[in-house]
Structure 1
Amino acid sequence: MNEILFDLLSMDVVDRLFYPVHANPHPKILRKAVEQGVGFRCISWNEMDGLLRDFPRLDPEQIVFFPVAAQDREFARAFDRGVHVVVDDLSALRQRPDLFQDRRFFIRGDAGAHHREIGFTGTSIQGLYWSLKPHAPPVSGPDGMCPFLTGALARFPDKPTLILGNGMEQEMDREQAWVNVPALGEYLDAVARACPRFNLWLELPHGMIARAGILITRVVETRRQADIRLVRVNGDMRDQAFHERCGISHRMVNLSRPHRGETVSTTAIIGEAGGQGNRIDFPDAPAVIQEGDVMIFTNMGATGAEVSPEDECWKGVPQDYLHARSLCPVDIHEKQRMNHTEKQDNSSGRRDRE
């Protein structure tokens, strides 16, 4: 996680970086983000209120409040606290114009929206939050976004801000195993070239958060059901579910038998609590898995908002934060000054050689 935050903060094209609290709200991850100058995207009032309570020096300008569902009073409280607000349902603006009167906020822009829809709100919109809704078709990256954004620019009197949310992962090349930093940098550079009048804010992709964590469990039962091997573990599989939405894949290693090879038969890993959705299917799994074996599952850092170390579903498998080496916070302005100085030095060197 340290390296991911450092690499993304070091991108010149990114003006601000935001961590989605609901991906994994572990207190030590949140503290690391605060120490590095990262902002937060919150989907509920409780998330936002908890951040401001636990980190009293956190600037409200570092929070984007984009609720899944919010009542009027929560929007009002968010405005009063001075955080950035994203409005998803444009009908709310028509139904409660008094709530949004003289307020500045973001609206969601995606493949299903049109820039004419935002005209009625006048000059209160400070930018767009771009994220594809679940199962929406891709819009072919920056080329697909550009017509919408170009038309929307006429609605902004000042330089607007474009927030790229997690749904944009669907637009990237799905042949990539991961949304890695170099590929993401190229994508963001393309967006910046296509839309140079926008400030660019980035929400940390769920895939990168998932990659930062592993799940260590113990096998409590193995059995077969038709052609599928069923393995029950003393962990929870429900909310490692970003793999379905964001294309995140997992690998499994049997620490108890690390050299026994893999099998091509499908293996279903079931959480101890059982229930619908508490399962991940693996086409390639260790050939031998027996009761009592210790298993590692990769790319499990995005646990989901409803899973915490104290939840009963973990059944004695707590979530621990392993401290890596310390990193200095990235000063974006200092980074830009260094790049400018380096260019001047290179130019001076060329003149000296001439």
Structure 2
Amino acid sequence: MYRGRADGDTALLGRGGSDTSAAYFAAKLQAERLEIWTDVPGFFSADPRLTGSARQIKALSYDEAQEIASMGASVLHPRAIAPVRNAGIEMEIRCTHKRKMPGTVISATPSEDAPRLKAVSVKNGVRLITLDTSGMWRASGFLARAFEPFARHGVSIDLVSTSETSVTVSLDDDPSLTPAVLTALEADLAEIARVSVLEDCAAVSLVGRGVRALLAQLARRWRRFAHYPVRLISQAANDLNFTVVVDGDQGKPLCRKLHDQLIQPKPLDETFGPSWAELGADKTAKADAPAVWWRSKRDTLLEACPENDAVYVYDRDTVRERCEAIAGLKNLDRGFYAMKANGHADIIRTAVEAGLGIECVSINEVEAARAVAPALTPERILFTPNFAPREEYAVALEMGIHLTLDGLHPLRHWPELFKGAGITLRINPQRPEGHHKHVRTAGPEAKFGLHRDELPEAIELARTAGAKITGLHVHSGSGISDPEHWRRVGIFLTETAQDLPDVKVLDLGGGLGVDEASGPRRINTDQLDIMLGELKTAYPGYEFWLEPGRYISAEAGVLLARVTQVKQTPDARFVGINTGMNSLIRPALYGARHEIVNLTRLDEDADMIADIVGPICESADRLGAQRLLPETREGDVILIGNGGAYGRVMASRYNMREPAGEVVI
């Protein structure tokens, strides 16, 4: 739709290439403004099919929009931008389903003058062609000769990377690039260099104004590439794009992880609006998603929320369902609930009743678990301390529970404790996993576990102490939904156990992913069971254990709080509630994203964007930024999802404010 400058007339065009047609009409008629109405409210910071945390982009410059559209954003054809850019016409992408909601404005003026990452995208089906020859060194015109066959065969090149003796180019997935064309192209290129072709790659791009200036700030994120072999790196000359090419199966996971780490909304954010998940834009995904228990128990929750206090509410049915999912794995020898996620007595009892053991990280946890679950025998308790004092190891050995060592100090300095004992060694696989650095418990900077190079000394120390190494353990991080992770861990442990004849138990750790507000889904336990079965078939001499924590309790808990104040400033809106980071520190500590809804007005249309904040005197006391809510009033009950793990157990009395209480239904 465009509006004419002279007479204010409006013209409407149908779908099917109409965005490009409208752009040309607008330019020819010298329109004041061009609106493209489609089924989504503009550009997003990633493909919403990859992550529900993909955020609406409020404003883009022409160049930024061109770059994102060219990288595959289907909301706008790349050819629709040039006509309005040349004519200086502002364009806005609007949504037919949310007519009152602003969309993405595209103009000559970016949303911010400072460099800012706007999007992370991935293109699959990329092919790399590399030419290697020492003949290109100081050879004038070599690149002209190298590129000429591409032009002659009608093959379009995307990315280019060169060195003194090689040139690598990428080719997008193009139906016109038939096997015959590719064979002919390779034959012509082989006349000037050695040719190698790498099929099925993926290009992951960081897009934003001044992206080069951001690379130093993003340096710590490049560790992520340690686990993704990089085949090509390209920095765009226009300083809008930084691209890496990886193997095809790694493109989407890398894109999702980089996006969820790097695209973070700020208070009073001029660039990003609501997330795709908050907008409820993906009707298909919502229909396929598992139903959340708190919707069916809304009335009970509203009654459970106090007038003047906040409360954690745990759903026993959900806890039991998750426990039974683990206990029911046919190919798992033992499962343990990691009670550090939530030490509530009812959750521990439910886990034990379902057949799980309990994994503890302190003697206090061991004693608490035994106190509330008398049926918990020593062989069903797994003790995995980290830098604990000597006395805790002594007590654990006296109790006869399973003991894991993750360093050499105990064997070096307290060998007398371990005479005649069977022990498990925790190994650091040097491959961190998880959504945030604070939940990655492996890698060179992790404080957990022995390096595999320390095993010979550990073996000798155990022999001298009179102990037997009967198990090996790995835990890499939290929030992992790919069953293949545990296959890799299992293979790593079996290889490590080759020189340890007494090892019978391989503990694969925990970290099983749960449903998240950002889009990732709960791990598929059927697939996990199949993978465990394959491990047991390949390595029949071992028992395989798992120790999930958050998987058991996270989705079973919600935090309920009352709205205390609503504050509107010229730049932002805040919804204040009667608890904050003293009850739930994960958003401040991990940058964790929890679903937040107004439970009082659950089915009302959401039409306001606000930051959800608590009463704590810290800027970090923000439980959710830029959230889409219905019109909210004092006294409304706000529900924060996935509060059943690392919520109350990490709470404090900071500012002398009591944290939320606990109720089980």
Aligned to 2:554: 210
- Is 1:117–2:454 an aligned residue pair? yes
Aligned to 2:382: 64
* 1:156 CA drift (Å): 2.7
Aligned to 1:289: 632
Consecutive unaligned residues in structure 1, runs of 5 or more: 323-354
* 1:75 CA drift (Å): 0.4
Aligned to 1:321: 664
- C-alpha distance in 1 between matches for 2:534 and 2:579: 41
Relative to structure 1, the CA distance from residue 63 to residue 236 in structure 2 (aligned partners, 3 Å threshold; closer, same or farther) is farther
Aligned to 1:200: 544
Contact 1:178–1:248 (CA under 8 A) maintained in structure 2: no
- C-alpha distance in 1 between matches for 2:391 and 2:451: 28
- C-alpha distance in 1 between matches for 2:532 and 2:586: 22
Aligned to 1:343: none
Aligned to 2:393: 75
* 1:263 CA drift (Å): 5.1
Relative to structure 1, the CA distance from residue 147 to residue 187 in structure 2 (aligned partners, 3 Å threshold; closer, same or farther) is closer
Contact 1:249–1:299 (CA under 8 A) maintained in structure 2: no
Contact 1:233–1:272 (CA under 8 A) maintained in structure 2: yes
Aligned to 1:148: 492
Relative to structure 1, the CA distance from residue 35 to residue 262 in structure 2 (aligned partners, 3 Å threshold; closer, same or farther) is same
Which has more strand, going by share of residues?
2
Relative to structure 1, the CA distance from residue 51 to residue 140 in structure 2 (aligned partners, 3 Å threshold; closer, same or farther) is closer
Deviations along 1:273-312, one digit per CA (max 9) or x if unpaired, are 454754322454314222211112221111252449xxx7
* 1:82 CA drift (Å): 0.8
- C-alpha distance in 1 between matches for 2:595 and 2:648: 19
- Is 1:230–2:574 an aligned residue pair? yes
Contact 2:336–2:548 (CA under 8 A) maintained in structure 1: yes
- C-alpha distance in 2 between matches for 1:247 and 1:201: 30
Identity within the alignment, %: 29
Relative to structure 1, the CA distance from residue 258 to residue 23 in structure 2 (aligned partners, 3 Å threshold; closer, same or farther) is same
- Is 1:9–2:327 an aligned residue pair? yes
Contact 1:207–1:246 (CA under 8 A) maintained in structure 2: no
Relative to structure 1, the CA distance from residue 5 to residue 168 in structure 2 (aligned partners, 3 Å threshold; closer, same or farther) is closer
Q: TM-score, normalised by structure 2?
A: 0.42
Work out which structure has the larger RCO, using CA pairs closer than 8 Å and 6 or more positions apart in sequence: 1
Partner residue of 1:31 out of 349, 353, 368: 349
Deviations along 1:9-51, one digit per CA (max 9) or x if unpaired, are 1111111121112211111112222222321111111111222
Deviations along 1:32-82, one digit per CA (max 9) or x if unpaired, are 222223211111111112222333442011111112431111101110011
- C-alpha distance in 1 between matches for 2:486 and 2:415: 33
* 1:217 CA drift (Å): 1.4
Bigger mean CA deviation after superposition, 83-92 or 235-244: 235-244
- C-alpha distance in 1 between matches for 2:602 and 2:546: 39
- C-alpha distance in 1 between matches for 2:621 and 2:539: 42
Relative to structure 1, the CA distance from residue 258 to residue 146 in structure 2 (aligned partners, 3 Å threshold; closer, same or farther) is closer
- C-alpha distance in 2 between matches for 1:93 and 1:106: 12
- C-alpha distance in 2 between matches for 1:243 and 1:183: 30
- C-alpha distance in 1 between matches for 2:594 and 2:560: 13
Bigger mean CA deviation after superposition, 206-215 or 237-246: 237-246
Return the letter of the residue paired with 2:499: R
* 1:100 CA drift (Å): 2.8
- C-alpha distance in 2 between matches for 1:280 and 1:76: 41
- Is 1:271–2:614 an aligned residue pair? yes
- C-alpha distance in 2 between matches for 1:164 and 1:245: 26
- SS of equivalent to 2:544: strand
Deviations along 1:236-272, one digit per CA (max 9) or x if unpaired, are 445645679999742222122223333584x433333
Return the letter of the residue paired with 1:285: L
Aligned to 1:346: none
Partner residue of 2:372 out of 54, 57, 62: 54
Consecutive unaligned residues in structure 2, runs of 5 or more: 1-318, 431-449, 460-466
- C-alpha distance in 2 between matches for 1:225 and 1:97: 64
Contact 1:21–1:40 (CA under 8 A) maintained in structure 2: yes
Q: Cα RMSD over matched residues?
A: 3.6
Bigger mean CA deviation after superposition, 74-83 or 55-64: 55-64
- C-alpha distance in 2 between matches for 1:12 and 1:247: 36
Partner residue of 1:255 out of 596, 599, 603: 599
- C-alpha distance in 1 between matches for 2:529 and 2:657: 37
Return the letter of the residue paired with 1:118: L
Partner residue of 1:98 out of 416, 420, 438: 416
- C-alpha distance in 1 between matches for 2:527 and 2:608: 30
Return the letter of the residue paired with 1:120: E
Contact 1:262–1:284 (CA under 8 A) maintained in structure 2: no
- C-alpha distance in 1 between matches for 2:506 and 2:372: 28
- C-alpha distance in 2 between matches for 1:91 and 1:140: 33
- C-alpha distance in 2 between matches for 1:148 and 1:107: 14
Contact 1:218–1:292 (CA under 8 A) maintained in structure 2: yes
* 1:199 CA drift (Å): 0.8
Return the letter of the residue paired with 2:396: A
Partner residue of 1:181 out of 522, 525, 528: 525
- SS of equivalent to 2:499: coil
Relative to structure 1, the CA distance from residue 262 to residue 71 in structure 2 (aligned partners, 3 Å threshold; closer, same or farther) is same
